[in-house]
Amino acid sequence: ALLESAAVRRRHLLAEADLETIRAWVSHTGIRWGIDENHRAQLGLPRLRENTWRAGIERLLLGYALPGDERTLFDGILPMRDVEGALALTLGHFVEFAEALFVRVPALAAPHTLGEWERTFREMVREFFDGADESADEVRRLHDVLGTLSVTARAADFEEAVSFEVIRAHLGAELEESDSGSGFLAGRVTFCALKPMRAIPFKVLCLLGMNDTAFPRRDTTLAFDLVSTGAPRRGDRSQRDDDRYLFLEAILSAREVLYLSYSGLSPRDNSEAPPSVMVSELLDYIGHDSLVTRHRLQPFSAAYFEESARLFSYSAENARSSRQKRDTGLRPVNPHEHWTEARVTFSTTPLADPGPEWLAVDLDQLANFFSHPAKFFVRERLRLAQPGDIDPLEECEPLALEGLARYGLGQELTRLALEGGDGAAHLAVARAGGRLAHGLAGEAHFGTMNRETAAFAATIRQHVAGAMLGPRSVDATFGDLRVTGTLHGLYPAALLRHRAAKLKGKDVLRAWIHHVALHFTENSPRETLLFGIDTAWRFKPLGDPASILADLLALYLEGLRTPLPLFPRASMEFARRTLQPKPREKIPPLVAARRCWEGAEHHTAGAESDDAWFALCFPAERDPFDTHWQELALRVFAPIFEAREEA
């Protein structure tokens, strides 16, 4: 969070783009809180190094020094993978910044005199803030406020030490009250609060935020305050009366223009919201409703770009948005253009054909596309991110293995068991990775998972014999498209794919893409085994893999122009019930697919339509289950169900 400040970031030679890399490092290394075990011990907690900043930084530095495979410890430290090349500069600057913080923070715990605090904070400003032109005013403001500490100490003859909490509260109040440092009336436009004795004549005077609940301020009531608890006397101060006088001073100082602004309509239900009582009294006295201008809710309203003396805008961007709204035929729900919350899809018109950079298709890229076409379209083709796409960094140590952490550890233990390794010995690696709960709780969770994955691997081993083969390269050309990649997990009898969880539609699609690509390798088996904890699938050899891959690539190109209505769970359920219905199933395929999409009581996975990427590309107002969706589901899944055998 500190590095999000441009002044701090520039001082440590980090770019804004580096923040995304650093955020990924912090998340992957399991950094949660605490400098190190000594810092935690000072807080009365166990001296545990896991999930501290020191532990994470050691993983990063060792990952640059050694080739990390995320499975081999060095002196109890797990080197992080892929910290190399130009990332070394980013890592170095980040570590220098972190180490500077680690030195400074403990020193703030001891009380100091005001003069000592001033020297300490001035050193920190020089150490952490860049004083370039863009932040010179803010840095100067910091130094001005810090300079008041020694002045105050000398004026009060105060030489006692004060704690950090006290000095922090004092500086916070001073910085909040102080102005920008440029002085009152120093420029063409002055921003200030309403204060007594500032009623200097101005050509234009604007009072903003004159809402009913904001101004005048209400008197605060304290139990021991006789003025506000029933015994006021003539001449007692009233905050409301003071604000009424400030308002009178302000409007008398306006010479040419007096501008009063308030929120006149509720943003929730568009109901009338009254202004401040003083604004209402002024309007009643003047008696001219024509003085009130009702603005629109959206800055791209067409009213701002029509010939009107009342409403106007200089924003070229909002003008383009207004033309786009008019050209697409969208209409507001009321004259004030308060739009409903219904989302309008941005992809009614397909994009242009993808450029040549999209014609070289990586195998994993193709698998990612079919596992979630809508997400791929938005993130990869449009280069857009959802507001909640980046999860906030965790700030407390893990208390249990859940979600992706549990799945990732399960995959590692299953792979280790298949290779004949010792799962129990992997405990130290998992703990060094910062994924386990501390102490005996983490060991218990790990032991349970180790037993479960060992049994899962033993089941897989019954169907996969022999030693693992080396990787195989895939290289297939279809017109202008070329598919390349590498397949791992090959055994003499089959290509193995496993998931230490229940199988989902996206898992089937990924395994299917790899199974089709398997037929374009040399000296490889022609079967694929897909294992989940609930079921296992076998994909038989294909008679015409070229036509299947060509059709998948055609859908891939279509999905780069417009979101492909392929929903892994709902589409697979519809195709299975249509192509291979079970004898006792009475629910029609389309009804069953809708239950997957909309959610039902027996669907523990929830509604597939709740996925943010599907909700963005396929809004609720438009039913996606049309004939095109049905044809697409059968087109993708028919070859899958024809080639699969379920065990």
pLDDT, one tens digit per residue, over 78-113 is: 999 888 888 999 999 999 999 999 999 888 889 999
Q: How far is CA 444 from CA 74, 399, 427, 452, 454, in A?
A: 24, 12, 11, 13, 15
% of the chain at pLDDT higher than 70:
89
Residue 586 or 497, more confident:
497
Sequence-distant (6+) residues with CB within 8 A of 123 are none
Q: Which residue would you say has higher pLDDT here, 620 or 462?
A: 462
Arithmetic mean of pLDDT, 472-494: 92
Tell me what the mean pLDDT of segment 611-640 comes to. Answer: 88
At 312 the pLDDT is 84
Query: Which one, of 91, 73, 94, 92, lies nearest residue 82 by Cα?
Result: 91
Q: For residues 537-544, give the mean pLDDT.
A: 94
Radius of gyration, alpha carbons of the chain: 33
Q: Is residue 226 pLDDT above 80, yes or no?
A: no
The arithmetic mean of pLDDT across residues 31-50, rounded, is: 91
pTM over 0.75: no
Residue 74 is classified by DSSP as: B
Nearest-angstrom CA–CA distance, 278 and 276:
5
Q: What is the pLDDT of residue 340?
A: 33
With a cut of 70, say whether residue 605 has pLDDT above it: no
Q: Between 277 and 387, whose confidence is greater?
A: 277
Q: Mean pLDDT across the stretch 151-179?
A: 86
- Number of neighbouring beta carbons within 10 Å of residue 22: 18
Rounded CA separation 3/437 (Å): 29
Q: pLDDT over 90 for what percent of the chain?
A: 40
Q: Indicate whether 229 pLDDT > 70.
A: no
Task: Tell me the average pLDDT across 436-457.
Answer: 90
Average pLDDT over the chain reads: 85
Give 606 or 128, the one with higher predicted confidence.
128
Worst-scoring range by mean pLDDT, 125-129, 329-333, 433-437, 482-486? 329-333
pLDDT of 193: 77
More confident call, 599 vs 227: 599
Contacts 24+ apart (CB under 8 A), 592-600: 593/625, 593/633, 594/570, 594/625, 596/567, 596/569, 596/570, 597/567, 597/569, 597/570, 597/624, 597/625
For the residues 608-612, what does the mean pLDDT come to? 87
Query: What's the DSSP call for residue 396?
Result: S
Compute the average pLDDT of residues 3-32: 91
Read off the pLDDT band of 140 (50, 70, 90).
confident
pLDDT digit string (tens) for 320-335? 877 765 655 444 434 3
| More confident position, 588 or 316 | 588
In angstroms, the CA 497 to CA 370 distance is 17
Average pLDDT (484-496) is 93
| pLDDT above 90 (res 236) | no
- What is the reported pLDDT for 339? 33
- How much is the pLDDT for 343? 39
- For range 555-573, the mean pLDDT: 93
Please give the residue that has the higher pLDDT: either 518 or 404.
518
Select the highest-mean-pLDDT range: 228-237, 238-247, 513-522, 590-599. Answer: 513-522
Q: Choose among 329, 3, 322, 6: nearest CA to 136.
A: 6
